[in-house]
Amino acid sequence: MLDFNISNGVAVLRFDNPPVNSFGLEMRGLVMSALARAEADPAVEAVILIGSGKGFSGGADIREFGTPKSYAEPHLLTLLRAIEECSKPVIAAIEGICMGGGLEMALACHYRVAVASARIALPEVKLGLLPGAGGTQRLPRVIGVEAALNMIVSGAPVSAEKLRATPLFDVFSEGDLLPSALDFAHTVSKERRDPRRLRDLSIRMPNAEAYLQFARNTIKAAAGPYPAPLACVEAIAAAVKEPFDKGMKRERELFANLMQTPESAALRHIFQAERAASHIRDVPDSTAPRAINRVGVIGAGTMGGGITMTFINAGLPVVLLETTQDALDRGLAAIRRNYQGALRKGTLDEASLEKRLALITPTLQYERLRDADLVVEAVFERMDVKQQVFEKLDGIAKPGAILATNTSALNLDSIAQFTSRPADVVGLHFFSPANVMRLLEVVRGAKTAKDVLATATTLAKKLGKLAVVSGVCDGFIGNRMVARYGEAAHDLLLAGALPQQIDAALQNFGMVMGPFRMSDLAGLDIGWAVRKRRAAEYPNLDWSNVADVLCAGGRFGQKTGLGWYRYESGSRNAIPDPEVRAIIEKYRAQKGITPRTVGEDEIVERCIYALVNEGARIVEEGIAQRSSDVDMVYLNGYGFPAYRGGPMFYADQAGLIDVARALRRIASSPGADAAFWTPAPLLARLAQEGKTFSEFKGSSS
Ligand code: NAD
């Protein structure tokens, strides 16, 4: 964890705590004692702190946040004070990452030697916090208020090179870092330089108050529901106005307050949940993925086009197969068109675009898929078409090639059976638009091989996607849940609410889009086709929906200019339509429903708790590995607000006992579908035990 060496009168403390040399309790204790040892040793004239692996340090150990370990001594603040007060010069030698508590430690050192490419950041704001170990007090003293404020409020990394003009770094190392740091340490000790403490610098900024007020105004407008960015400004204001120790106290208070906010709790949950998602329970992290260098995509429609863009954006060549030249040409034209936005914005130039497009080999011949390491099928959502495609693929694809389907809801195990190699078959469920949406549901069939799953999660990272593993069920995690959400919204419509009222309530809750606007965007015909198929499969259930009436009248959503709303030509602006109101009123009358007033709270409660209840079933059945995976699906695929952490985390915060009580109340209300609203067994059990979804580690463990 920590190497201690004395080289020519200089103690070198090297952090070796992969992956990012974070400062958990044990590490803090080790650095503290090594520092004391160096200080006590008369042979030591100076101390160097240096990292290894990915760099200096990524900062605090976030797994300790909120646990007694994070408060236990030596606290990071205690350690930093010991460094600052050390009687011998302490030098931070910085390369790679130097972030959060890592940068705060470097700021507490007396000198800093860096390589120009080192990545410097105080990213705490991204977790809804502020740098709580002196970062807001020392950084403005050394790089200036404006530059520090930009770094602290954005959390974005900058290269050491960018800060060359400031006194932050005493020396830039041109060659190997340690020899440069040792040279510098010897100079400092030879010249008997005193330890230089950033706390002693004063901030001179004549117009500071006006600048801070300007910053407050702009940041307030941009911060939305998050309190952290403004708290960062307040901490920096204290650095400007107060003596160092008072500023430190203010920083601590602000940090402690932010730690208690639901927004920070949600962001910290997301941080950990994203990392957890890539671990598949019975697939060891050491499982070697298969090499993916050449990809095939079948179908150049909406999804096939977006999936192709995703691969070529990551530099992977794609053989794109269609049934007709016409469909192929249309698909390629759509791909080119979809890049126009990036060209206009200047994020992509013509030459790079042509280079990317050259990675596509369009074809009508299955033969061309022979060399592909992975083939993703995105043809019509019909089992007979999927069968035809997978049987052909099975005959052509090389041994070991991964055969993936982008199906939204069809049974993956049935699709796998169309091949002689079900272990190589997996679902790669991209979301629309595939080149934009971050979520990738990796659907695991009964026979999918472990290394195929490991390949899917590794590939997702390369594509810039977040992979979440789902078991096989109708709709997988996301669409199965959204169906329940849609049903709850439809019930509210029948009860007396209008689409615009339901959408507004859920948008006020923080959803990017309400269910009716979302449905207009996706196209009402998709759900109509599904209901017709289901009505044929399960004739004794009632599949009817107001949307059937809209569809029968040609209202398919945005693409026809009419859906739950009306759209003016070329505009995505949803305009409430009196005709839709009339259709809903007539539908209610036919069903013998007397409309009642539906309030905003009721809309949010029913729609969100419908999601939670289905999420609980999904977790209990093991379709999702953990409740945080459900949150990741919802946040990255369905526009759930990040500051609420996802539906399951939201329910945990609300208290499962209260969620279960609300569900029971709805279940027993007049006209309610009791089976739909009765709390899922897992939810009921956890509520009774006073536990949370986060504490549930799966049915099998
Ligand atoms: P689409 O109709 O836009 O495109 C399908 C394409 O497949 C068409 O271009 C068609 O010519 C081609 N095709 C049909 N049969 C083929 C065959 N035998 N060989 C080669 N090409 C063939 O459909 P889409 O929206 O892109 O959906 C494709 C798949 O992705 C479906 O399984 C769908 O459920 C799934 N999906 C869709 C979305 C979405 O939002 N549209 C999201 C996730 C997943």
Tell me which DSSP letter residue 290 carries: P
Give the span between the Cα atoms of 336 and 660, in whole angstroms: 50
What does the alpha-carbon distance between residue 43 and residue 636 come to, in Å, rounded to a whole number?
56
| Ligand 1 atom 28: residue of nearest CA | 378
pLDDT at residue 701 tops 50 = no
Q: Check if 380 has its Cβ closer than 6 Å to any atom of ligand 1.
A: yes
- pLDDT for 435 equals 96
Lowest-pLDDT choice from 540-549, 573-582, 593-602, 687-696: 540-549
The alpha carbon of 636 and the centre of ligand 1 are apart by a number of angstroms equal to 22
Percent of the chain's residues with pLDDT above 70 = 100
Q: Is the CB of 298 under 6 A from ligand 1?
A: yes
Tell me the two tokens of residue 246: 């008072």
For residues 581 and 549, is the Cβ–Cβ distance under 8 A?
no
Instruction: Taking residues 100-106, report their average pLDDT.
Output: 98
Averaged pLDDT, 412-441:
97
Would you say the CB of residue 319 lies under 6 angstroms from ligand 1? no
pLDDT digits (tens, 9 = 90+) for 610-628: 999 999 999 999 999 999 9
- pLDDT tens digit string along 110-129? 999 999 999 999 999 999 99
Of 379, 391, 432, 559, the residue with max ligand 1 atoms within 8 A of its CB, to mutate for a pocket test, comes to 379
The whole-angstrom separation of Cα 296 and Cα 538 is 36
Taking only the tens place, the pLDDT of each residue in 215-234 is 999 999 999 999 999 999 99
* Helix 135-143 vs helix 145-154: crossing angle, to nearest 10: 140
Question: Percentage of the chain surpassing pLDDT 90?
Answer: 92
Find all residues with CB under 8 Å of 219, minimum gap 6, and list them.
153, 229, 230, 232, 233
Q: Which atom of ligand 1 is nearest to the CA of 306?
A: 26
Give the single-character DSSP code of 476.
Answer: H
Residue 474 contacts by C-beta under 8 Å, 6 or more apart in sequence?
409, 480
SS3 content of the chain, % helix, strand, coil (to 5): 55, 10, 35
Give phi and psi for 141, each to the nearest 5: -70, -25
Considering only 54-68, 134-148, 373-387, 663-677, which range has the smallest mean pLDDT? 54-68
- C-beta of residue 80 within 8 angstroms of C-beta of residue 134: yes
Taking all residues of the chain, what is their mean pLDDT, rounded to a whole number?
95
CB 623 within 8 A of CB 477: yes
Q: How far is the CA of 88 from the centre of ligand 1 (A)?
A: 68
Closest by CA position to 629, among listed 283, 276, 263: 276
Cis peptide, bond prior to residue 289, ω within 30 of zero: no
Atom 12, ligand 1: residue with shortest CA distance: 299
Q: What pLDDT was estimated at residue 166?
A: 95
Is residue 302 in contact with ligand 1, taking CB distance under 6 Å? yes
**Of the candidates 176, 193, 172, 155, the residue with the CA atom closest to the CA atom of residue 114:** 172
**Joined tokens for residue 565:** 């709303």
Ligand 1 within 6 A of 365 CB?
no
The Å distance, Cα 407 to ligand 1 centre, comes to 8
Closest CA to 143 of 253, 22, 239: 239
Cα of 380 to ligand 1 centre, how many Å? 4
SS3 371: coil
Distance CA 557, CA 526 (A): 11
Contact of 134 with 107, CB cutoff 8 Å: yes
CA distance 548 to 530: 11
Name the residues annotated as catalytic: 104, 124
Cα-to-centroid distance, 649 and ligand 1 (Å): 34
CB 587 within 8 A of CB 494: yes
pLDDT digits (tens, 9 = 90+) for 292-336: 999 999 999 999 999 999 999 999 999 999 999 999 999 999 999
CA distance 154 to 124: 9
Q: Provide mean pLDDT across the span 481-493.
A: 96
Q: What is the torsional sign of CA 137, 141, 143, 144?
A: positive
Q: Which residues pair with 10 in a beta bridge?
A: 7, 46
Q: Does 20 contact ligand 1 (Cβ within 6 A)?
A: no
Q: Is the CB of 385 under 6 A from ligand 1?
A: yes
Both tokens assigned to 402 = 């991964």
Q: Is 322 in the pocket of ligand 1 (CB under 6 A)?
A: yes
pLDDT at 199: 97
Give, in degrees to the nearest 5, the angle at Cα 37 between 32 and 40.
125
From 297, 298, 302, mutation site for ligand 1 pocket: most ligand atoms within 8 A of C-beta: 302
Angle at 462 between CA 333 and CA 639, to 5 degrees: 70
pLDDT at site 361: 98
Q: Which two tokens stand for residue 206?
A: 């004549």
Ligand 1 atom closest to 305 (CA)? 26
Half-sphere exposure of 34 (CA within 13 A, CB side): 24
Instruction: State how far the Cα of 67 lies from the Cα of 587, in Å rounded to an integer.
Output: 54
* pLDDT on residue 544: 84
Kindly list the distances between the CA atom of residue 74 and the CA atoms of 88, 110, 448, 533, in Å, as whole numbers in the listed order. 20, 20, 48, 64
The phi and psi torsions of 568 (rounded to 5 degrees) equal -80, 150
Give the DSSP per-residue string, 615-639.
HHHHHHTTSBSSHHHHHHHHHHHS-
Decide: 106 and 162 in contact? Cβ < 8 Å: no
379 C-alpha to ligand 1 centroid (Å): 3
Q: What is the DSSP letter of 398?
A: P
* C-alpha of residue 549 to centroid of ligand 1, in Å: 26
Contact 339, 345 (CB under 8 A): no
Check pocket membership of 363 for ligand 1, CB cut-off 6 A: no
In this structure, what are the phi and psi dihedrals at residue 13, rounded to the nearest 5 degrees? -100, 110
CB contact burial 326-359 (16+ within 10 A = b; e otherwise): eebeebbebbeeebeeeeeeeebeeeebeebeeb
Can you give the pLDDT at residue 534?
82
Local structure of 244: helix, strand or coil: helix
- For residue 201, give Cα distances in angstroms to 49, 102, 198, 275, 401: 22, 21, 5, 39, 62
pLDDT at 540: 85
Strand partners, 114: 94, 172
Is the pLDDT assigned to residue 173 strictly greater than 70?
A: yes
DSSP string, 573-600: --B--HHHHHHHHHHHHHTTPPP----H
pLDDT tens for residues 177-208?
999 999 999 999 999 888 899 999 999 888 99
| Burial readout 251-264 (b: 16 or more C-beta within 10 A, e: otherwise) | beebbeebbebbbb
Give the residue, by CA position, lying nearest to ligand 1 atom 14.
379
Write down the pLDDT at residue 700.
Answer: 53
Per-residue pLDDT at 694 = 95
Q: For residue 178, which of 326, 337, 8 has the smallest C-alpha distance?
A: 8
- If DSSP states are collapsed to H, E and C, what string results for 85-148? HCCCCEEEEECEEEECHHHHHHHHCCEEEECCCCEEECHHHHHCCCCCCCHHHHHHHHHCHHHH
